[in-house]
Amino acid sequence: MKTTHHKVTEVMKILDPEGTHLRKAHRLKRRVYCAKGPNYIWHLDGYDKLKPYGFCIHGAIDGFSTKHIWLEVSDTNNNPKLILKYFLDSMKSIEKATRIILCDAGTENSDVCILQQFFRYNASDAFAKHRIVIIGKSQISELNVGGALYDNKVDSGG
């Protein structure tokens, strides 16, 4: 499925008018965010607002560039095997892996977390074995749906 930024923004206005208004008015509190470079941290998240209509969205973005690693629509975003497939396909496609995964504690991310720990456990950099997976709410999770990408302010320096 391909769409334009404008169409996604229009749909977001319909689905989340209050959030869209707050983002446009710059009244959302933003935290300072720092990623050390491309593929340093990937944020994984699902979007369930369209689930009643049969559209389940799951995506990942690079925390430094805010580039979409994947943005997939399926009939489910709760299947750990499906999310793992997105993860592996993306790593194969871009021929890179991330140092850190940030995701929520949902079961859909469990296989990705296990594989990330396996991949990074024997790595030779300073982050091997430590902070490989961060479980928590992504501060930029709304970037996954694309509609908030333009409005989100991210300090990715340093």
- What tens digit of pLDDT does each residue of 6-43 get? 888 888 889 888 888 877 776 656 566 678 899 999 99
In a domain, 155, yes or no: no
In a domain, 15, yes or no: yes
Q: Taking CA 75 as the corner, what is the angle to CA 7 and CA 132, rounded to the nearest 5 degrees?
A: 90
Q: Given the structure tokens 């333009």, which residue do they identify?
A: 150
In a domain, 22, yes or no: yes
Strand pairing partners for 53? none
To the question of pTM greater than 0.85 for the whole model, the response is no
In a domain, 117, yes or no: yes
pLDDT of the residue at 29: 64
Has residue 69 got a pLDDT over 60?
Answer: yes
The domain spanning residue 75 has which CATH number? 3.30.420
Count structural domains, the chain.
Answer: 1
Has residue 90 got a pLDDT over 90?
Answer: yes
pLDDT of the residue at 138: 55
In a domain, 153, yes or no: no
In a domain, 28, yes or no: yes
Contact 71, 57 (CB under 8 A): yes
CA distance 32 to 109: 25
pLDDT of the residue at 28: 57
**Domain range enclosing 71:** 5-145
In a domain, 97, yes or no: yes
Q: Per-residue pLDDT averaged across 111-128, rounded?
A: 85
